[in-house]
Structure 1
Amino acid sequence: MTKVIIQIPCYNEEATLGLTLSELPRQLPGVDQVEWLIINDGSSDRTVEVARSNGVDHIVNFEHNRGLAKGFMAGLEACLKAGADIIVNTDADNQYCAADIPKLIEPILRGEAEIVIGARPIHQIKHFSPVKKVLQNLGSWVVRLASKTDIPDAPSGFRAISRTAAMQLNVFNEYTYTLETIIQAGQRGMAMTWVPIRTNGYLRPSRLVKSIPSYIKRSILTILLIFMTYRPLQFFLTLGSLPFSVGTLLGIRWLILFFLEGTEKARVPSLVLAAILILIGFQLWIFGLVAELLSVNRKILEDIQLRLRRSEVEQAERGVRR
């Protein structure tokens, strides 16, 4: 029996949650059971009451607001314990068209992917400013490079995740899960694809993108941190190559001038700067080697975590059967 659980992170979504839930399906092709779950991220309004009145099956409650990333991960954990074979994540502001959920889960049902991202028609969304459209495309391009995938809309929160993939995902930052999970899945070699989706009308401003500069800064930090975590040697080798190359060029210049002009113009500051830059480059390379060795422990811990999650899910399923 295949079970799909549709999860919705919520923070003060009283005004829009009812509409979002009214459009969610209770039946899907190729699926035996569909359930709904919300993550109440410390809401101070009637979000929970609206969810219950609309027949939500599971509610995860946070006493205080912990952010979108924490809410997303708590939802995955709850969905796994509730026996989900596929988890669909969507937003409470009804941004994504729920009628596209069958299209979203189809590659997982066919066994072609473990994660499917819904790609919005960015250039057709009227409430996106030209600057935001450019930044969305630029950010997605950077994520494609870092994750080695072809996902065209990395910030999209409309996605389907298989049980196996959900057990392996982790979110380290407290801002958002969208970029990090794609890079992480790509670096870990999970099968990932995308499908074109539709969007609904504009109901409220984004609570994640409070300002374009803040969003850019946070996104860049997320990409760098995840790249450092999963490709530390490559990251530090690349980073160290810049000062090492500049230092080497300065050193060659000093040697050329030394042999051409002799010792009368020693140019000591130039030689000292070259030595410092070369030393910095070597140190960054050493950091990369150490980080690469430490990543072995991370992989072991990830394997242990996966086994623990599988054990918890199996125990929860046995409890449900009883």
Structure 2
Amino acid sequence: MKKRKLVVFLPAHNEERNIGQVIERIPREMGRNWTVEVLVIDDGSADGTVEEALRAGADHVVSFKENRGLGAAVREGLAGCVRLGADIGLMIDADNEYPAEEIPEVIAPIREGRADYTMGSRFKGTIRGMKLHRRLGNICFTMLQAILLRRMIWDGQSGMRGFSREAMDCADIIHDYNYAQVLTLNLVRQGFVMEEVPITYQVRVHGQSFIKFRKYVGNVLPAIWREMRRPAAERERVPRAAVPQAAYAATPAGSAPQGESKQRYG
């Protein structure tokens, strides 16, 4: 039986003090019919992020020449997973806040055919160390997504998400600054099934978040507006269990940036 592949990808900008710990925590055993590979998207880091990632066991690295933004890095991560032939992709932040050892639980709904897109939910699980203003910001942006999609969402800003092959192929991130809200709106509006999985969360020890309130709001709200204004893509639902393995051959992702990054696959 041909093995299936999980690719765990980490968008990273100046995370040399954290990224190695995240990679070392990633489970490499998912069952005898699965392989696991780690892909790092280096978003123009000026420190030793790439060196630390490779030292910790990263299998593939894509390096942007300059910082392009988290949305651009996640877009390239999804495209990289497709190029590497992933059956499932899992994104996790490189700041060591999210529980890499809980990756099997986060992708379980996709493996079992219940969902196309999963989010590790901090607010359904355990949160340690998050400041009040961060909690309030997360709640407000999550409520906005819930209202727009007319469904319950617990944690719309999670930095740990799983994707089926079809979801990675179809995902369209409309801006480079961030991805969290527009990606969920985009996939759910296309008809992909989303499920949230409780996780444990611990605020980072080293470094600091790139998020600054005014800049975040000034970039995210217009992007949400643009996403909701455009028609949702039409797609025909095919149960994942009924899709033959041959359908998962690696193909280039049309939205992947060209000529702007240095790639090392393998």
Partner of 1:92: 94
User: Do the aligned partners of 1:30 and 1:109 also contact (CA within 8 Å) in 2?
Assistant: no
Q: After alignment, is 89-98 or 118-127 more displaced?
A: 118-127
Does residue 71 in structure 1 map to residue 73 in structure 2? yes
Partner of 2:166: 164
Partner of 2:111: 109
Normalised TM-score (structure 1): 0.69
Q: Percent identity?
A: 30
Q: In 1, distance between residues paired with 2:190 and 2:215?
A: 28
Whichever structure has more strand as a proportion of its residues is 2
Residue 315 of structure 1 deviates from its aligned partner by 8.0
Residue 218 of structure 1 deviates from its aligned partner by 2.8
1:312–1:34 distance in 2 versus 1, CA, 3 Å: closer
**Larger RCO (CA under 8 A, 6+ residues apart):** 2
Counterpart of 1:76 in structure 2: which amino acid? L
Does residue 140 in structure 1 map to residue 142 in structure 2? yes
Structure 2, unpaired ranges of 5+: 236-246, 254-266
Tell me the alpha carbon deviations over residues 212-266 of structure 1, each in whole angstroms, 9 at most, x when there is no partner.
23323333222211111237xxxxxxxxxxxxxxxxxxxxxxxxxxxxxxxxxxx
1:19–1:60 distance in 2 versus 1, CA, 3 Å: same
1:103 counterpart SS class: helix
User: Do the aligned partners of 2:4 and 2:33 also contact (CA within 8 Å) in 1?
Assistant: yes
User: Do the aligned partners of 1:38 and 1:56 also contact (CA within 8 Å) in 2?
Assistant: yes
Q: In 1, distance between residues paired with 2:176 and 2:252?
A: 29
Q: In 1, distance between residues paired with 2:155 and 2:144?
A: 11
2:182 counterpart SS class: helix
Partner of 1:193: 195
Partner of 1:15: 17
Q: After alignment, is 142-151 or 33-42 more displaced?
A: 142-151
Counterpart of 1:14 in structure 2: which amino acid? E
2:186 counterpart SS class: helix
Structure number with greater Rg is 1
2:86 counterpart SS class: coil
* Equivalent pairs, count: 240
2:7 counterpart SS class: strand
User: Do the aligned partners of 2:10 and 2:93 also contact (CA within 8 Å) in 1?
Assistant: yes
Residue 186 of structure 1 deviates from its aligned partner by 1.4
Structure 1, unpaired ranges of 5+: 232-297, 301-309, 317-322
Residue 139 of structure 1 deviates from its aligned partner by 1.0
1:31–1:92 distance in 2 versus 1, CA, 3 Å: farther
User: Do the aligned partners of 2:89 and 2:162 also contact (CA within 8 Å) in 1?
Assistant: yes
User: Do the aligned partners of 1:123 and 1:133 also contact (CA within 8 Å) in 2?
Assistant: no
The match for 1:313 among 250, 258, 265 is: 250
Q: After alignment, is 180-189 or 145-154 more displaced?
A: 145-154
Tell me the alpha carbon deviations over residues 144-163 of structure 1, each in whole angstroms, 9 at most, x when there is no partner.
12233432101112000011
User: Do the aligned partners of 1:146 and 1:223 also contact (CA within 8 Å) in 2?
Assistant: no
